[in-house]
Amino acid sequence: MVRTPPSSADEPRSGGVMERSCGTPLPSGAALTVAFLATSLLFHGPLGHSPVLRAQELPAPALAPAPGVWKGAVDQARELILDRMEEQTVPGLSVAVGVDGKIVWAEGFGWADLENRVPVWPSTKFRIASISKSLTAGAVGTLVEEGRLDLDAPVQEYVPSFPEKEWPVTTRLLGGHLAGIRHYRDREFESMVHYDDVVDALQIFANDPLIHEPGTAYEYSTYGWNLISAVVQSVAGEPFLNYMRRVVFEPTGMTETVAEHVDSLIYHRSRAYLRTPDGRIINAPYVDNSNKWSGGGFLSTASDLVRYGQAYLGGAFLRPETVELLWTSQHTRDGERTDYGIGWREHLEGGRRIISHTGGAVGGTTVLVIYPEEGVVVAILTNIQGAGQTGNAREIGELFMTADR
């Protein structure tokens, strides 16, 4: 992959935050000069056929010195991302890193829209997929703190329209993928059906039997989080999306996070892509994620997700005991650890605690990683399906944790 040196670079923005992007000349009035890589996007076949990304054409980021102690970490992380994007054939990617309550680096790479050559910026919104569960967990936490939600009460106490099952189903078990609610079937992952309300979306699975007795096995289920959204809406006494905006997004500074309404004009929304078995990049099919707002329907930026992760560390959003409730792994009835709390994964590696969630959407792959003891949060968002970023996020986190500060 050939990389051209930057033609110029601007100074870091106020607050020591490194916010950069790549791409075509900026709109009038913007004070950033952009350099491009010399590699090319090759099209094969007649006009209108899908492109093959042979040598990944990535607009070069504006390479300004990172603030103070973070320069080395940012330089290494940038090289890592460019290499991995080429290896994984990723059209567009956004990354952000927070340290000790501040975002110290945020940068966009590649294209938000390949056809129209729209670059990725730190403000580009991506499908965050299952990280939506972690956001919804924040709503659950607020209601538990207020004493309005009993995690161990049968869900019918809050959503009486949900049919009784052979065994009781509770919010705690739903949140830990232990309740026996099934996951996607057939083409449900690519649903094009619109649902006006989270309760309406329960009809997808409401009449299906549980796949196991609650508490006896861990079986990942996005639909379990659909039911949680109905619980949150009932307890809150207002529409689920309104509650998320008012109680979760606004208090944590997530000004760029929204539900992906297909009929709405959402500024800085990335296009979504798939990779075919023979390596072609094609547009992802149309989907309507109103069937799973809480489990995989939000759009966000890498910076917003880092802000959300940092909010869990600061104590201003949720009490420490509530954070522990959401983060700490649940166990099956026979004592087997699941590595999943309520909306968050908890890993213990070499004495280090790692809290995270990944996401895989139609046309998106994402990850959010929190290192609680070290005060480091990393988010990576992409606009292509099946391009795992967990390893990249872990490596970037390590770069920032080992930097002298």
- ∠ at Cα 382 (33, 276), nearest 5°? 115
Tokens found for residue 257: 């996070």
Helix (H, G, I), strand (E, B) or coil at 202: helix
Residue 91 burial by Cβ neighbours in a 10 Å radius (0-12, 13-18, 19+)? buried
Q: Which of 327, 321, 307, 322 is nearest to 252 (CA)?
A: 307
CB-based contact 183:219 (threshold 8 Å): yes
- ∠ at Cα 187 (181, 190), nearest 5°? 100
Spell out the residues 6+ positions from residue 10 whose beta carbon is closer than 8 angstroms to its own: 31, 32, 33, 62, 64
Tokens found for residue 278: 């023979």
Spell out the residues 6+ positions from residue 88 whose beta carbon is closer than 8 angstroms to its own: 384, 387
Rounded Cα–Cα distance for residues 17 and 324 (Å): 29
Q: Among residues 21, 130, 132, 229, which one is catalytic?
A: 130
Q: Which of 400, 348, 403, 351 is nearest to 379 (CA)?
A: 400
Tokens found for residue 160: 């009486």
Residue with tokens 């509650």: 243
Is 134 tagged catalytic?
A: no
Rounded Cα–Cα distance for residues 110 and 103 (Å): 21
Tokens found for residue 104: 């110290």
Residues forming the active site: 130
